[in-house]
A and B are shown apart, each in its own frame.
Chain A
Amino acid sequence: MAAFIFFAYAAVALAAGLVVIAAGSTRVATRGLFVCMVAASCAYVQMLAPAVAAVQLVVLAGAAVAALRLAVTDEVVVRRRLVSGLALLPIAGLALILVGTWARQYVWAGRELGPGSQFGGAAALARVWSEAHAPALLAALLALLVAAIAGSAGRGHRL
C-alpha cells in the first residue's frame, strides 16, 4: 500500500515537473510547479517529516508560486542549440548514474526506512534546532527574509 501511494504521488510530481519545463505558457508552468511541490511534499509526509512538508507547502507551493504568478508574464521561448548540445553531457552523466543506481538495487536494495512515529515531528525538530546551530541558521534566514522583503517592495517603499 505504501509503495502504491509513493508511485501515485511520484508520478504526479514527475508529470507536473515535465509540465513545468514543457508548457508553452508560463502560467501553466507555474501551476505545474505548484502541483509538483504539493506532490513532492507527500514524500516528506511519507518519510515522517511533516514539518518539512509544511515548510515546503507554505514557502514553495504557496508564497513562491504566488510571487511567480504575480511577476512572471508569458514570454516567447527560444531554444539555444549550443546550450542544448552542452546540456546533453550532464544529462547523459545523470542518466548513467540513474541507470547505475537502478541496476544496483538487484545487488543491494538499500537501507530500509525503520518504523517510527515521532521522527521529524515539530517537537523533534524543535529539539534539534535548539541543540544544533539554530542561532546561526536563524540569523541567516532573517537576513535573507529582510533582503527578500526589501527587494520585493515597490520602488517607493524600499528600505
Chain B
Amino acid sequence: MLPITHFLYLASGLFVLGLVGLTLRRAPGRVLLALVLLLAAPGLLWATFARAWGDGGGQVLAALLVTLTGVYALLGAALLRGRG
C-alpha cells in the first residue's frame, strides 16, 4: 500500500507548477491553463484524504471541484473567444 505522502507530493507539485505559471505568464490563455492545473491539485487532495479517512464525502467534493474547474475553464475559454 502506498503512503498518503506520495499523493500529497504529487498534488503539491501540480499546485506549485500551476502557481508558477499563474504568476510568470501574462497571456490570458496561459494564465487560464495554469489555473486549471492549479485547481486540479486540491481535487487530488480531497480524494486522497477521503481515501485515507474512509469518508466518501470527500470524493464527492473532489468530483464537485473537478466539475467546477471544468466549468471555469469553459467560461474562461468562452470569454477569451468572445474577446478575440
Q: Is the interface of A mostly helix, strand, loop or mixed?
A: helix
Q: How far is the CB of B48 from chain A (nearest CB, A)?
A: 6
Q: How far is the CB of B33 from chain A (nearest CB, A)?
A: 5
Q: Which residues of B contact A46 (CB under 8 A)?
A: 2
Interface centre among B13, B73, B75 (most CB of A within 10 A): B73
Q: Which residues of A contact B10 (CB under 8 A)?
A: 10, 13-14, 40, 43
In the complex, the answer to whether B77 meets A119 with C-beta atoms within 8 Å is: no
In the complex, the answer to whether B24 meets A79 with C-beta atoms within 8 Å is: yes
From 1 to 50 in chain B, residues with beta carbon under 8 angstroms from any chain A beta carbon are 1-10, 12-21, 23-30, 32-34, 36-37, 40, 43-44, 47-48, 50
In the complex, the answer to whether B4 meets A110 with C-beta atoms within 8 Å is: yes
The interface of chain B, by Cβ under 8 A from chain A, is 1-10, 12-21, 23-30, 32-34, 36-37, 40, 43-44, 47-48, 50-52, 54, 56-57, 59-60, 62-64, 66-71, 73-82, 84
Cα distance A75–B32 when bound, in Å?
Answer: 13
Using known A-B contacts A20-B17, A52-B62, A56-B43, determine if residue A71 contacts B2 with beta carbons closer than 8 Å.
no
In the complex, the answer to whether A72 meets B29 with C-beta atoms within 8 Å is: yes
Which residue of the partner chain, among B59, B75, B77, contacts A52 with CB atoms under 8 Å? B59
In the complex, the answer to whether B23 meets A84 with C-beta atoms within 8 Å is: yes
In the complex, the answer to whether A3 meets B70 with C-beta atoms within 8 Å is: no
Q: C-beta contact mask, A40-71 vs B, less than 8 Å → 1, else 0?
A: 10011011110110011001100110011011
Cα distance A69–B19 when bound, in Å?
Answer: 21
Interface centre among A37, A63, A64 (most CB of B within 10 A): A64
Interface centre among A36, A72, A120 (most CB of B within 10 A): A72
Q: Is the interface of B mostly helix, strand, loop or mixed?
A: helix
Cβ of A132 within 8 Å of any chain B Cβ, yes or no, is: yes
For this complex, 15 residue pairs linking A to B, each with C-beta atoms less than 8 Å apart, are A6-B2, A10-B10, A20-B37, A21-B18, A33-B33, A36-B14, A37-B40, A47-B48, A59-B67, A68-B76, A83-B24, A87-B20, A87-B24, A101-B5, A152-B75
Q: Which residues of B contact A17 (CB under 8 A)?
A: 13-14, 17-18, 37
Cα distance A89–B1 when bound, in Å?
Answer: 35
Cα distance A13–B56 when bound, in Å?
Answer: 25
